[in-house]
Structure 1
């Protein structure tokens, strides 16, 4: 898959999305959490992917026990028309829970009743916690695909999970064959989307470095030429 930046006329077809790369045993034998999309899925059928999905309208109002680090939110603001860091963080945590049953949160009670799509997460006794999320990659789905996303990829260490990393029982059925895939062989042994291969190479190169990246790769396309750039973090106004 070649990432792209849309023409102005089809921008409305692109949805903001969050994808989560959970990295386990990073200092010894790094593994990442992946699952397989269904054969009848409209987007990337049969492919092995990271958990993730589109931002929902209500994600911006979800309370976070702690936000993402400021450096990550600054890079999320770079080359973006609006600041949706909070919504992206909430979407990442929600999608991780829905698709894998893994909880990224800390114990706490919700001050208000949670929205319906957060009921089961709240029932675990946790508030979503975005402090361990690191923004590491951004890519836009090329034109001509049945669905298009402006996807931000977030890396999180498995030690930040509040759940058993081997228990996928609460997961929905959107991803099958959930498993911890060895990072060293993932690009060779699984049927992956092209952009997933690119992201895996980026993660493999920095697997032993727990610090957030100083800059984030961004793949975009204007239908005439491919463009790769790096996001360093927009400066806040004085």
Structure 2
């Protein structure tokens, strides 16, 4: 299969920021050296949207502004904003063991949520970035990046015992030090957006919603950069 023929799948990523008086840290993990996609790279937790994510119960939905931005431009996949938000929360739980949930909604059967009797909560997610993998890669994704403050976690932020083995070296990295890691190019770009977003407010105030969502569009023959309003 040529690079142009590789299907583009919807994917979701959750970027957890742990903010405090001494600065901001971000949760990162390293992909295995045998991984087909981005081996040995440090990444945010995330992955492809599964068909079952469309039916995943959520205690609270994604905010309407983020739903509107997710549907502002066409996508190759058929995943709904609900499914994309659910995938972001599911992948976070699977790859790190970290949960964002409420006790007053339908209980999920996802690992971590099932044991704690929590319902995943998408209302804390902020949509901040979209990027489509360029042609020529072994896998291609229409990736949607969400930021969330660690204060929204329902789990111990230092307990990764429930994490699967897809990511290793899970730890909170000071934001100014992240770029010293072995990172994919798009992760570096997203980190620049994160630094600006987190730096625009004090640590004891909520993360702001960006005015626009940057979009790296690699669907055509030439890359296109735009801003989703």
**TM-score, normalisation: structure 2:** 0.90
Task: Report the equivalent of 1:182.
Answer: 174
Q: What SS is found at the alignment partner of 2:176? A: coil
- Aligned: 1:79 with 2:73: yes
For 1:18-167, list aligned pairs within 5 A. 18-25=12-19, 28-81=22-75, 84-108=80-104, 110=106, 114=108, 118-167=110-159
Deviation at 1:41, TM superposition (A): 0.4
Task: Please say if residues 108 and 125 of structure 1, whose CA atoms lie closer than 8 Å, have aligned partners that are also in contact.
Answer: no
Deviation at 1:120, TM superposition (A): 4.0
Task: Report the equivalent of 1:230.
Answer: 227
Q: 1:46 to 1:21 in 2, by over 3 A?
A: same
**TM-score, normalisation: structure 1:** 0.87
User: Paired residues, what number?
Assistant: 219
Q: 1:26 to 1:133 in 2, by over 3 A?
A: farther
How large is the Cα RMSD of the aligned pairs? 1.8
- State the distance in 2 between where 1:26 and 1:214 align: 24
Task: Please say if residues 41 and 183 of structure 2, whose CA atoms lie closer than 8 Å, have aligned partners that are also in contact.
Answer: yes
- State the distance in 1 between where 2:119 and 2:30 align: 28
